[in-house]
Amino acid sequence: MKSLLLFGVIATLSLAVSAGLVGGGLGGGFGGGHHEHVDYYAVPHYTYEYKVHDPHTGDMKSQHETREGDVVKGYYTLHESDGTIREVHYTADKHNGFNAEVKRIGHAHHAPVYGYHHHGHHLG
């Protein structure tokens, strides 16, 4: 959960900096006596990635994403509880929307259930 929160904070700060909402920017400050229009728009651009590998809990996942203008590309992997790995590659842009290719790698293995006994009770 901390990893996702940290990811959210980093992504939000990256977008805020790209949009000119954080930092001094151009044309800031006081004085000068003239008012000039300054366009603070910057083409969005970022790259991030994170990885979690916790052998104690079995939590293993990673993600990588880049954005250049209006085009986002990325992938993530997630180790499922059945032993398979989910791998998702995705893209998003204003022309094609969001598209994802999902792969499942490996064979599912389910742990045996212990302590369950079927006694054959009948209603009647």
For residue 6, pLDDT beyond 50: no
Question: Model confidence over 59-108: pLDDT tens digits?
Answer: 999 999 999 999 999 999 999 999 999 999 999 999 999 999 999 999 99
Q: What is the pTM of this model?
A: 0.57
Strands (E), the chain: 45-54, 59-68, 71-79, 85-93, 97-105
Contacts of 112 (CB under 8 A, 6+ apart): none
Mean pLDDT of 21-44: 64
State pLDDT tens for residues 71-83. Answer: 999 999 999 999 9
